[in-house]
């Protein structure tokens, strides 16, 4: 596939991947093949935990083996993708390197190929590359790269609302750019679109998906002030909560000022007695 042809596929798909609203607005202007590509959000949908795949070592595994204790970042990508999947994975690992959370400790990452012809050997190469790029010890226990049969891939894609299409003349897949965050139970908690993922949004998504089991009091405060918007796949400020928080801070400052003034007046009265 030439770079020019790859770009012709990449540009409209990136537009589609920005948000559900952008996808709907752009759909009529896209080529027929790309109208079947996109993401239909399935928030709170359970992924098929009994679906079987092969891990990077060639072992048969079930999706349920990767959930249960921690939130999970799920990436649908195929390993021979000439451009878009690499951009998504590069953007993800770049963001992960900025987080204080560690893969394999506070959360897991699961990359699943939707190309049924790909092999565990390819998955192992990708895993080695991205673990080296991530560069934190122990991540190999928490980041896995899977391949699978068409039926298992289709079940997972359906649960995620992830729509892609094989383009025979290009011998490539057209697909959207996004990652998903799953709860420890394997339910879809958040979608983040595009090829770059703001660290604040991804951190808050993981904290929220974990139901407060990871993160700090500051994260809890941030979740009070920011709310996830499914239309944009981002966290935005909750104006009323910010106003309330500002009011509380103002009252606390006034109370502190009044207390200090009372203490000074009392000390002055004691000295004058």
Residue 73: beta bridge partners? 109, 181
What is the rounded average pLDDT of the residues 53-82?
Answer: 96
From start to end of 108-232, where are the E strands? 108-112, 143-146, 162-163, 165-167, 172-174, 178-182, 188-193, 226-229
**157-198: per-residue pLDDT in tens?**
999 999 999 999 888 999 999 999 999 999 999 999 999 999
Q: Is the pLDDT of residue 247 over 50?
A: no
Work out the pLDDT band at 21, boundaries 50, 70, 90.
low
Across 155-171, b (16+ Cβ under 10 Å) vs e yields bbbebbbbbbeebeebe
Structural domains of the chain, count: 1
**144-168: per-residue pLDDT in tens?**
999 999 999 999 999 999 999 999 9
Cα dist from 11 to 3, 31, 176, 265, whole Å: 12, 12, 10, 69
* 60 backbone dihedrals φ, ψ, rounded to 5°: -75, 130
Examine residue 223 and state whether it is found in any structural domain, yes or no.
no
Work out the pLDDT band at 32, boundaries 50, 70, 90.
low
Examine residue 225 and state whether it is found in any structural domain, yes or no.
no
Residue matched to tokens 């025979």: 168
Q: What is the pLDDT of residue 268?
A: 60
Separation of alpha carbons 178 and 190, rounded Å: 10
Can you give the CATH number for the domain in which 105 is found?
3.40.30.10
* 187 backbone dihedrals φ, ψ, rounded to 5°: -100, 150
Examine residue 218 and state whether it is found in any structural domain, yes or no.
no
Examine residue 183 and state whether it is found in any structural domain, yes or no.
yes
Q: Which domain holds residue 187?
A: 3-197
Examine residue 46 and state whether it is found in any structural domain, yes or no.
yes
Separation of alpha carbons 73 and 135, rounded Å: 18
Examine residue 242 and state whether it is found in any structural domain, yes or no.
no
Q: What is the pLDDT of residue 115?
A: 97
Examine residue 220 and state whether it is found in any structural domain, yes or no.
no
Examine residue 272 and state whether it is found in any structural domain, yes or no.
no
**36-51: per-residue pLDDT in tens?**
899 999 999 999 999 9
């Amino acid at each position: 596939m030439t770079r020019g042809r790859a770009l012709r596929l990449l540009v409209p798909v990136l537009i589609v991947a920005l948000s559900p609203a952008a996808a709907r607005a752009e759909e009529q202007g896209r080529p027929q093949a790309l109208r079947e590509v996109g993401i239909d959000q399935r928030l709170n949908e359970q992924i098929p935990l009994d679906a079987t795949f092969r891990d990077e070592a060639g072992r048969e595994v079930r999706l349920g083996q990767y959930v249960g204790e921690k939130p999970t970042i799920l990436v649908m990508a195929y390993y021979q993708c000439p451009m878009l999947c690499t951009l998504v994975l590069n953007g993800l690992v770049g963001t992960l390197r900025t987080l204080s959370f560690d893969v394999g400790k506070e959360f897991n990452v699961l990359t699943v190929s939707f190309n049924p012809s790909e092999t565990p050997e390819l998955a192992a190469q990708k895993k080695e590359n991205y673990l080296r790029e991530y560069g934190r010890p122990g991540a190999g226990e928490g980041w896995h790269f899977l391949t699978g049969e068409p039926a298992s891939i289709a079940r997972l894609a359906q649960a995620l609302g992830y729509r892609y299409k094989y383009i025979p003349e290009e011998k490539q897949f057209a697909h959207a750019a996004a990652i998903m965050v799953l709860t420890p139970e394997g339910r879809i908690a958040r979608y983040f679109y595009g090829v770059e993922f703001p660290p604040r949004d991804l951190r808050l998504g993981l904290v929220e998906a974990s139901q407060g089991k990871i993160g700090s009091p500051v994260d809890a405060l941030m979740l009070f002030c920011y709310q996830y918007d499914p239309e944009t796949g981002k966290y935005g400020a909750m104006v009323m909560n910010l106003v309330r928080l500002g009011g509380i801070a103002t009252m606390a400052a006034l109370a502190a000022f009044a207390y200090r003034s009372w203490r000074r007046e009392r000390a002055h009265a004691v000295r004058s007695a």
